Amino acid sequence: MEKKKSKFIDFRLLRRLLSFTKPYSRTLYFAILLSVLLAFVAVIRPLIIQRSVDEYIHKQMMHALIWITVAQFGILLLESFLRFWMLYRVNWLGQTVVADLRKTVFKKILYQNIRYYDNTPIGTLTTRTINDIESINDVFSEGLIPILADVLTIIAIIGAMLFIDWRLTLVCLSVFPLLIIATYIFKENVKKWFQIVRNAVAALNVFVQEHLSGMYIVQVFAAEQRESAKFRVINKEHRNANIKSIFAYSVFFPVVEIILAISTGLLVWYASVRILHFQSSVGVVISFVMYLNLLFRPLRMLADKFNTLQMGVVAGERVFTVLDSEDYLSDNGSVAPDNIHGQVEFKDVHFAYKPGTPVLKGISFTVPAGKTLAVVGHTGAGKTSIISILNRLYEIESGNILIDGVDLKDYDVFALRAHIGIVLQDVFLFSGTIFDNITLRNDSIAREKVVEVCKMLDIHNFIMRLPGGYDFDVMERGNTLSQGQRQLLSFARALLYDPSILILDEATSSVDSESEILIQNAIDTLIKGRTSIVIAHRLSTIRKADQIIVMDHGVITERGSHDELVAQGGSYQDLYKAVEQAVKEEY
């Protein structure tokens, strides 16, 4: 990627970034117009001062001098006003484009396939959505239009200087090759270290995000010192890259000042000779000193702005890798029934998270509407994969999955998921209140409906004992609640939408006995009339299933009712005895 980014500016990417300004083209053109006007206004004041010195002061024309001073003050106000509007409109354009782009990127992320998140670190996506998009703002606020304004100003100033005295202009600009060399060296060094800084920022984001999420594991295994040492290495790389870029700035700006001083010295020397020979005037010298200061001011920052523009384009390329990702779920289905009966059928289904590593190998089973299927097996047997593909979080490789006789791919994916409720073993709660987490901030759901569901689950009393009741803040990831309490809330979240198909993935495996009783009582009531697929180790859940399938390494090895499988004396009987023994030891 770094070789690809070594080119000066990728104009294809720049054009793509500019395409986001189409809704605000008037603002863009207005800012460009202001930059053109500023370039012409910038050359007027030195000309006025030259005339004031050579004509009005030299000839003691005080009345004209007063008016020319007023005119100069008016031009200064006009220039300040134009500069203010240009900077304001440019920054407004940048922030507006960034806001639109961030919405587009986040929407893209929301609709990505779950497989995409398996392969992409969350910290990287955070960097793309926040840091990189903020860098794109610099393309507009500090890059493209400000560069145009500076270039036009430089052209206008050099043109004015050549018009006044071309010989004196050539003498003043004779040091420009030194400035060009210094600018090129500065630009290349800053570009290199800026790229390293951005990579270091991404590495920091990934590391911090991952370790904050897994802090429990870090502390449980007493890995604080080891992880702190790793962080110091990444942080040191980030610091060193910033220091290198700061060093480049610290060298470049004094060098520019030295070159300006040399140019001013040459100006004074040559102009003095011409004045002594009556070939120039004091006003010309003063105007040239002003022009040199006006000329070197944008030249100081031009290289930095080009780097800012380039880094913004590079950041845009990274953002576009997210926008251009094809790893999203294709939703070509059109079937969107208001209700489904819930018959589920798997026909010779093959599935793999990674090509060449099959997880499900020809799975076939049928769950009649309103019946309960329990799926058991050792870890890695493929149990959770069944619910992942049933909900179309992943696409199958071959075979068919039917709901009410209709192929899963023929359903509108969002309509399909509206009829499926899922309770997972690892419960995720968002920052906010209990009510927000149960409804997922769906404003169309009334509080009375939430209370009704919680009473059905017999968890209303536990919620009301919390400070604020349903308005209790669960904090990030629900850290203020126990695992059992979080599990109960996730159960209420799933049942609130009255799904036709209910999926429980180890839903009672991490709760205490009291919470399990609450959930089990709710299950007994709520699975009636619903198709239920239960992945569990708890005997109370398994026994009540209408059908049980035993999985091992992605295939179904046994199927039948609890009594039938126990009587067969196969792997289910061994699993049943192991669980039964574990329950006895627990009590």
Q: Which residues pair with 433 in a beta bridge?
A: 473
Specify whether the CB–CB gap between 546 and 561 falls below 8 A: yes
pLDDT reported for residue 555: 92
Rounded to whole angstroms, how far apart are CA atoms 553 and 533?
Answer: 19
pLDDT reported for residue 345: 94
Q: Could you tell me which of 234, 156, 247 has the C-alpha nearest to residue 193?
A: 247
344-586 to CATH, choices 3.10.130.10, 3.40.50.300, 1.10.10.10, 3.40.50.1820: 3.40.50.300
Specify whether the CB–CB gap between 204 and 234 falls below 8 A: yes
Domain 25-323: top CATH class:
mainly alpha
Q: How far apart are the first and last CA of the chain?
A: 59
pTM flag (> 0.85): no
Q: Where does 214-281 have alpha helices with state H? A: 215-220, 224-276
Q: How far is CA 289 from CA 158, 277, 343, 418, in A?
A: 13, 20, 86, 73
Tens-digit pLDDT string for the chain (587 aa): 344 444 556 778 888 888 888 899 999 899 899 988 988 888 888 888 888 887 777 667 777 777 888 888 888 899 899 989 988 998 899 889 888 988 888 888 887 777 777 777 777 787 788 878 888 888 888 878 888 888 898 899 999 999 888 888 999 889 888 888 888 888 777 777 777 887 787 788 778 877 877 787 788 778 888 888 888 888 888 888 888 888 888 888 888 889 888 988 998 888 888 887 777 788 888 889 888 888 888 887 777 787 778 778 888 888 888 888 776 666 677 888 888 888 999 999 999 988 888 899 999 999 999 898 999 888 788 888 888 888 888 888 899 999 999 999 899 888 888 888 888 777 788 888 899 988 888 888 889 999 988 888 788 888 898 898 999 888 776 777 877 788 888 888 888 888 889 888 765 555 566 666 766 766 676 677 789 888 866 666 677 788 999 988 889 999 988 888 888 888 888 877 776 666 565 55
Q: What angle do CA 9, 13, 15 make, to 5 degrees?
A: 100
Q: Please name the residues in contact with 245: beta carbons below 8 A apart, sequence gap of 6 or more.
A: 189, 190, 193, 194, 197
pLDDT reported for residue 512: 60
Q: Could you tell me which of 497, 500, 475, 496 has the C-alpha nearest to residue 486?
A: 475
What backbone torsions phi and psi does residue 437 show, to the nearest 5 degrees?
A: -75, -30
Rounded to whole angstroms, how far apart are CA atoms 312 and 138?
Answer: 6
Q: Could you tell me which of 44, 42, 53, 40 has the C-alpha nearest to residue 286?
A: 53
User: How many Cβ atoms from other residues are within 10 Å of residue 113's Cβ?
Assistant: 18
Look-up of token digits 């990444």: 234
Q: Could you tell me where in the chain the CATH 1.20.1560.10 domains are found?
A: 25-323
pLDDT reported for residue 365: 93
pLDDT reported for residue 540: 66
Specify whether the CB–CB gap between 147 and 136 falls below 8 A: no
pLDDT reported for residue 131: 78
Q: Radius of gyration over alpha carbons of the chain, in Å?
A: 35
Q: Could you tell me where in the chain the CATH 3.40.50.300 domains are found?
A: 344-586
